[in-house]
Amino acid sequence: MPKLRCIVVLLLLIMSFSAFGAEPEILVAVEKNGDTFLVDATIAIPVPLRTAWEVLTDFNNMVGILSNLTLSKVIRRKGSSVFVMQEGTAKYGIFSYSFASVREIQLEPMKRILAIQLTGNAKRFESEMALSETRSGTRVHYRAEIVPDSSIARIFGGPFIQHEVEEQFALIAAEMIRRKAQ
């Protein structure tokens, strides 16, 4: 009987460690420098690089991935750039903020995504997302510089932006895991 108990405990430990390893790790930091918010985020997710890339660049289906979007579509392609129009509403507590943007997104397949806002609610938005393979899947490092043009974003600033980035990465990670399982 003690031997059986040890085997059961060992199996439970193995299952808990493998379940722990299957969860994405999302770290987000936001700093304010004058009017600019600097975002530095990392997501480690147990999916192949190709799956991560496919989700991150699925602009025409992003409405089904990110709950705050009501519109996301590629409006033009030029070389390695795509021009994406997005609209939606960000929520923070009892507050909500409607947004619209057109971004030029430069793609370096399976490696990097650069985004520059051409038009939209923010005074300025630029981001870079770098992808790399790890032993356990994919690591995404995200940096953004945002100068908001909204009173809510200016009032709540860092916590508002951090909440949005964390929520979006959690939803993107869930989609990556869902697609990996297919």
Please report, for the domain that includes residue 124, its CATH number: 3.30.530.20
Domain containing 135 equals: 24-181
> Helices (H), strands (E): how many in the chain?
3, 8
For residue 153, what pLDDT is reported? 64
Residue 14 belongs to a domain: no
Residue 97 belongs to a domain: yes
For residue 7, what pLDDT is reported? 39
Residue 7 belongs to a domain: no
Residue 51 CB partners (closer than 8 Å, separation 6+): 138, 176, 179, 180
**End-to-end CA separation in angstroms for the chain:** 40
Q: When comparing pLDDT for 107 and 5, which is higher?
A: 107
For residue 11, what pLDDT is reported? 34
Q: For 42-92, write each residue's pLDDT tens digit.
A: 999 999 999 999 999 999 999 999 999 999 999 999 999 999 999 999 887
Residue 91 belongs to a domain: yes
Residue 74 belongs to a domain: yes
Residue 160 above 50 pLDDT? yes
User: Cα dist. 176→5, 94, 105 in Å?
Assistant: 37, 29, 20
Q: Which of 5-9, 85-89, 118-122, 149-153 has the lowest mean pLDDT?
A: 5-9
Instruction: Measure the CA–CA gap between 140 and 113, rounded to whole angstroms.
Output: 10
Residue 8 belongs to a domain: no
Instruction: Measure the CA–CA gap between 62 and 58, rounded to whole angstroms.
Output: 6
The residue type found at 122 is: A
The residue type found at 160 is: F
Q: How many domains does the chain have?
A: 1
DSSP β-bridge partners for residue 45: 138
Q: For 82-140, write each residue's pLDDT tens digit.
A: 999 999 998 878 878 889 999 999 999 999 999 999 999 899 999 999 999 999 999 99
Residue 143 belongs to a domain: yes
Residue 121 belongs to a domain: yes
For residue 92, what pLDDT is reported? 79
